[in-house]
Structure 1
Amino acid sequence: MSATDDEPPVEHSRKIATIKEIRQAGFEPEIWILRHGMGPEYTQVEAATIDLLSSVLIQPSRHVRPLSHLGLLTNERREASRGHGIETLANIVAEFGAPQLGPAVPPVLLITLKPWVDHLEVSPGGTMRRDYGFRTEWLNFADRASYAEELGDSVRCWWKLRQSKVEELSIEHVVAVHRGVTRGLFRIIPDSWEYDAISGRRGFRVDPVLDGALFDEVVGEYGHRTVAKKRGDMSTVNYWPRSM
């Protein structure tokens, strides 16, 4: 590692010394990336961030994740980063390095989740769910067990699909997909299907699957990348293998 043209040697040395102190204390620095895939404008983003962080008091917390406290702001508007927004370096590396979902994987139902939405509604089994979608902090696979129940709430209802087709294809599991990568595996509980006559959509109850051979094939350590959809394909529900 060497100092760059726009970073004085003294500042570079101070940074390296701080990192060494953190590691000597038994910790490992976690790198956050505010934006990636940019050109020369990255210097302006860096400068604005430094100005902001220099103007507010940062309180230490064990639960700090990218955008985990966005709800505390009165103005939640963000730039349309299209998947290039703030994230930890480890999660970015894992996402780009996710292996392809293999064609030999048993038939599963793929549900593509969009960003988190606050919406109170009745779910299968007469329970209520407060919201649905995919939270940004769930990109951290190391915490998957802690958010499995909430992620299950998001995939279990309400979808435009035919129960008869799912059963004909012998599908027993549903997979949560976000940004083209599998994020969670769930077993569809038999005889738990429900139909909402008003919306014409269906739902079911699920149990999370966090280990085992099928889990390793479908999700694994960092998720698996699904085949890219054709241009204009906005479908939320898909079947795997895609030829089904």
Structure 2
Amino acid sequence: MSLPEKTALGRNAEIFTSEQTARIRAATAAVVGLGALGQLAAEELARSGMERLILIDGDRMEPGNLNRQICADVLTMNQFKAEVLSVRLGDISPRMKLKVYPVFLNRENGKALLDGADLVLDCVDNIPARLCLEELAEQAGIPLIHGGVEGWCGQAAVVFPGDGILKMMFGNREAEETAVSVLMSAAGTVASIQAAEALKIAAGLEPSLRNILLSIDMRNGEFERIPIRR
């Protein structure tokens, strides 16, 4: 069943002007890492009127994803996350124009995978991948919206070309992060913040977290804005 455009986008009419809505619809966001953060953030962007997404992740669904990933169920096990998510987003809006890459981004393929992106969401789960993504975004001249989550806690920040925030935060650490437990509520909070920052940038508005690390502690109900200085 095809839903009228007015039904799909009308609820956002009091949030964004017609010009801002047009900018959001025309923008292309790359979402790298399609676990709990990436799946939630991509869906929020799609439901907010963004029609052009690049979905990048070489991982497959597994039982350990069931506690926090919206695309994880008994029917999607062992399927590529990028492909499962693309079907879900297409069901939300047939207007979606998706590029789907069931591969892991790296320095060799990153430039090609991010081609055409106006901004990129960092939803990956290890430091080397984050630093690689920051470098690629810098080379492409596009802003990066960082998000990370562990247990009850999470963080988010916006990085523009030239800021080099993630490299400053994480240094030159090259060790892979070990698997950690993630509370879906924490992932949902961080993903929503990432999506909101992405929508602001796409709409031509100032992001709230440029050079700011927003630290989130869901266990104690604490949110802290930490200025980041180079």
The bucket for the TM-score relative to the shorter chain is: under 0.3
The structure where helix makes up a greater share of residues is 2
TM-score (norm 2): 0.23
From the CA coordinates, give the structure whose radius of gyration is larger: 1
